[in-house]
Amino acid sequence: MIQLIPVIVFAPLAGFLINAFFGSRLGKLSGWIATFAVFISFVISAGVFVEMLQKPSDDRAIHYVLANWLDVGKVHVGISFLIDQLSIIFMLIITGVGALIHLYSIGYMKSDRGFGRFFTYMNLFIVMMLQLVMADNFLWTFVGWEGVGLCSYLLIGFWYEEKKNTDAAKKAFIVNRIGDFGFLVAMGAMLAAYGSLNYLDLLGSGSNVIDGTKHLGVVAGMHGGDWTIGFITLMLFLGCTGKSAQIPLYVWLPDAMAGPTPVSALIHAATMVTSGIFLVARSNMFFALAPVTMGVVAAVGATTAVFAAIIGIFQNDIKKVLAYSTISQLGYMFLALGVGAFTAGVFHVMTHAFFKACLFLGSGAVIEAMHHEQDMQKMGGLKKYLPFTFWTFMIATLAISGIPPFAGFFSKDEILWNAFSRGSVLLWLMGAIAAMMTAFYMFRAVFLTFFGKERFDAEHHKPHEAGWHMTLPLIVLAALSIVGGFLNIPHVLGGNATLEHWLAPVLEQGEQTAQVSFSEASAGLEIGLMVASVAIAICGILLAMRLYKKKTTLVRDEAVLGTPYRIAVHNFYVDEAYDKLIVQPLYTFSDRFLYKIVDVKIIDGFVNGLAQITDGTSKIIRRIQTGVVQNYAVMIVVGLLAVVSYLMIF
């Protein structure tokens, strides 16, 4: 299987090229080619995974050198892959969930004129996302990082005739570029300070990677609190806030819902937006040595989790609810990373990929059935029309709400427990509040969409389930949302934390190094908090039930809440503030000052002024050239006199 590792990348690359050149002539076949390509990647990834399972835990990492890429001065970067316990999990998610969503898209996009183009972009996305997680160095990860940004841009603006969509695409790319600026700066600092960009050189490895030995990176023997490390990690985290939609750069993700729904499921929920978590987990030794950055990560994560959840409560567009929910859940993951619980963060990436992809695909099925209506106020009572969609959506909602034994319960509870034991009571409280709001807005969405009376013209329009392409992925993802959490049942519940042991060679050292106040807490307290968090979630569900179930007329949120409602429903006016404080002033400054004054008036004014002075002067001097011989004679005499008198005086 190890020899087949390049195929993991080349299969979707081939799919991309075939669809790019012949997509328009292939018709429906292009969707199948794309799906099959991703499926091949999944099968080989699974094969590699199985092979890794059979080896001892510190002998599982594979370093596969494909080609040399850039080799100038101190920059030695290859196209080579580091496949270890961390990257294989991401690879399985990307190709597994990716294949399901490709299959779903065949149904969802069937009547779109851009069918071939859609799958071209989707396959390119898979290629780039795989580069991001498989690379053995920061720079090639960055190639994937920007590559997925490109695909995100192309897919958000897929229906390019609407200005709203291309605006959203452009915004996504530019906001991500602000983050990428941080990534670039961090890479420069690493190279200048430590002379390498390779993960193994910098971070070392807990596995026998090269020549059968463990590799010590430059981090070995370093102490926390180093300024360079602090700077590097803060800049890397800036990159993460862009790609993973955290405060202050989260603003692109809600708008990104302009893309087709499968795109939202794959890119803006399951895979691309978790790149930031991957990056932090990958460079966990760097972050563990930077306590200030860790504090920032935890604080940003917790704040984003609460903030986005508040906005999510007030959204009426079903996809917007899920978008803010994604931002909030990503905040959770960063909360975990920030307190040094890297495993918990990665665990939540996995379970979130299952239930959020399921939710998005479910919402896609609803939107399709409702003829592209996304406003939940115009839905209701869909349970009887869309039974499959309802049940899968319900399972995923229970999972995200943290109800045992669904997947989200285990991962969310681990994050909350770590926030408490490794962080502080405040972080736990923020996480718990966010959990309650999550349960509330998700069940609000369920009740508004599937329960109550139909708030659309049910006489003439009978919604129905789409074909098996769309139902099968829903069922698989719902099943995973049920069982996914069993991978890491904590010891206190009698499990053996399988995932934690699996990831230990990559993450354990960082988790131990992270300088956090670890309070030795009893099993009783852990169980107690667990019960509390479930109780909180149930409170949220009951509240949503009370407010939204069986309502024939909608609750007038605005009437009840007034101004706070208006502020929240408008995303706290963050977009408007960015526009007024940054975008507009920068544009006006560039236009009115830099261009129209500095360029046109000052520099060109100077140049043209010089020309005019020359012109003017010569017009004056020209008058001397009268052409009258007598005048010249006078001048000669005057000149002579002047020269002679000069010589006599000096």
Q: Shortest gap between Cβ of 558 and other proteins (angstroms)? A: 33
170 is a site residue for other proteins (CB under 8 A): yes
Strands 205-210 and 213-215: antiparallel
H-helix or E-strand spanning residue 63: strand 62-72
Residue 524, Cβ density class (10 Å: 0-12 exposed, 13-18 middle, ≥19 buried): exposed
Name which of 66 and 567 has its Cβ closer to other proteins.
66
Stretch that binds other proteins, among 39-47, 192-200, 331-339, 639-647 (CB under 8 A): 192-200
167 is a site residue for other proteins (CB under 8 A): yes
Residue 62 forms beta bridges with which residues? 83
Residue 621, Cβ density class (10 Å: 0-12 exposed, 13-18 middle, ≥19 buried): exposed
603 is a site residue for other proteins (CB under 8 A): yes
Between CA 394 and CA 400 the distance in angstroms is 10
69 is a site residue for other proteins (CB under 8 A): yes
189 is a site residue for other proteins (CB under 8 A): yes
Residue 356 near residue 290 (C-beta atoms within 8 A): no
For residues 456-475, which are near other proteins according to CB under 8 A? none
Stretch that binds other proteins, among 153-161, 249-257, 466-474, 507-515 (CB under 8 A): 153-161
Q: Shortest gap between Cβ of 310 and other proteins (angstroms)? A: 29
Residue 66 near residue 431 (C-beta atoms within 8 A): no
Residues binding other proteins: number (CB under 8 A): 56
Residue 523, Cβ density class (10 Å: 0-12 exposed, 13-18 middle, ≥19 buried): exposed
Site pattern 253..292 for other proteins (x: CB under 8 A): ----------------------------------------
646 is a site residue for other proteins (CB under 8 A): no
Name which of 208 and 228 has its Cβ closer to other proteins.
228
Pick the binder of other proteins from 10, 14, 47, 195 (CB under 8 A): 195
Phi, psi dihedral angles at 72 (to 5 degrees): -130, 125
Stretch that binds other proteins, among 189-197, 439-447, 490-498, 542-550 (CB under 8 A): 189-197
66 is a site residue for other proteins (CB under 8 A): no
Stretch that binds other proteins, among 65-73, 320-328, 370-378, 380-388 (CB under 8 A): 65-73
Q: Shortest gap between Cβ of 599 and other proteins (angstroms)? A: 6
615 is a site residue for other proteins (CB under 8 A): no
Contacts of 484 (CB under 8 A, 6+ apart): 350, 351, 354, 355, 399, 407
Phi, psi dihedral angles at 65 (to 5 degrees): -95, 115
Pick the binder of other proteins from 51, 59, 558, 591 (CB under 8 A): 591
156 is a site residue for other proteins (CB under 8 A): no
Site pattern 288..317 for other proteins (x: CB under 8 A): ------------------------------
**3-state SS, one letter per residue, for 26-52:** HCCHHHHHHHHHHHHHHHHHHHHHHHH
Q: Shortest gap between Cβ of 646 and other proteins (angstroms)? A: 28
194 is a site residue for other proteins (CB under 8 A): yes
381 is a site residue for other proteins (CB under 8 A): no
Phi, psi dihedral angles at 66 (to 5 degrees): -95, -50
Please choose, from the candidates 454, 293, 445, 234, the residue with its C-alpha nearest in 3D space to the C-alpha of residue 359: 445
DSSP string, 393-461: HHHHHHHHHT-TTSHHHHHHHHHHHHIIIII-HHHHHHHHHHHHHHHHHHHHHHHHHHSSS--S-TTT-
| In the block, residue with structure tokens 């920068």 | 586
Please give the distance of CA 358 from its chain centroid, rounded to a whole number: 18
192 is a site residue for other proteins (CB under 8 A): yes
| Region for residue 195 given its phi and psi (left: phi exceeds 0; alpha: psi -120 to 50; beta: otherwise) | left
Pick the binder of other proteins from 3, 25, 56, 72 (CB under 8 A): 72
Three-point CA angle 509, 511, 514, nearest 5°: 105
164 is a site residue for other proteins (CB under 8 A): no
Stretch that binds other proteins, among 31-39, 183-191, 476-484, 501-509 (CB under 8 A): 183-191
Stretch that binds other proteins, among 224-232, 288-296, 428-436, 530-538 (CB under 8 A): 224-232
Between CA 66 and CA 21 the distance in angstroms is 25
Q: Shortest gap between Cβ of 338 and other proteins (angstroms)? A: 23
The contact set with other proteins (CB under 8 A) reads: 67-75, 139, 142-143, 146-147, 150, 153, 157, 160-161, 163, 166-167, 169-170, 173-174, 177-178, 180-181, 184-185, 187-189, 191-195, 227-228, 231, 586-587, 589-591, 594-595, 598-599, 603-604, 607, 611
